[in-house]
Amino acid sequence: MSTVAHRPWQSFRVRQRDGDAKREAVLETAAHLFLERGFRSTSLRELAALLKITKPALYYYFQNKEQILVECYRAGIASIEGLLEEGELDHGTGLQRVEAYLRVYAMAIVSHDFGRCVAMLDDSELSPTARREVRTLKRRIDASIRGYIEKGIEDGSISDCNPKLAAFAAAGAINWIGTWYRPDGGLSRESIATGFAKLLTRGLARRNGVVRGSGVRPTAAKKIPTPKHR
């Protein structure tokens, strides 16, 4: 987890006249605690203490801790979809769209706690109703990746494969970034997101043949000579 201090509660009182900002501060602080200590180990009393408010004041914004976690998931999905709207996913082959989507997804995970919540928090501790809601949100990511993979198979830019398994594999690899990423590490957020997207889509790319509808023939992988043993 990130070792960098994350203190949105410091500005809580400054923004106290803005109800939306106060609610956002609660979510930001809760997301950080959930990631650092886990959902079960985080108490509302501790959350209120960090925000320098009373525990009953939290109930003005949220009914319980479970609702806070669901809203963290919702904020994470919204951030990913917001980045997607800024990207260029309406053009190019299916393979290019998959790469763009994975890059955006990875950027969301390394950029803020809400994105990491989507990737890392365990929804099994939630009630059945809340769990269904969270998993419905997560399926939006899976459905998008799977849809672009299907487009790639159709246009010939992606090798024939099981789109569901391929989407699970790609999303799983991106989610794992959250377990080792450090903001103060040697790799930038951009290099991580771009690097992962390229590596993952390289395995999907069709090696030979013309991409239908584009007139582009994918570059065949170069054959690496077998080294001679001394």
Sheet strands (E) in 133-228: none
Averaged confidence pLDDT in the chain: 82
Domain boundaries, the chain: 8-202
- Residue indicated by tokens 């998931």: 73
pLDDT of residue 230: 39
Q: What are the residue ranges in the chain where pLDDT is below 50?
A: 1-17, 214-230
Residue 5 φ/ψ region, left for φ over 0, alpha for ψ in the -120 to 50 degree band, beta for the rest: beta
CATH of 8-202, one of 3.40.50.12780, 1.10.357.10, 3.40.50.300, 1.10.10.1100: 1.10.357.10
Q: pTM of this prediction?
A: 0.75
- Residue indicated by tokens 């917001």: 82
pLDDT of residue 11: 45
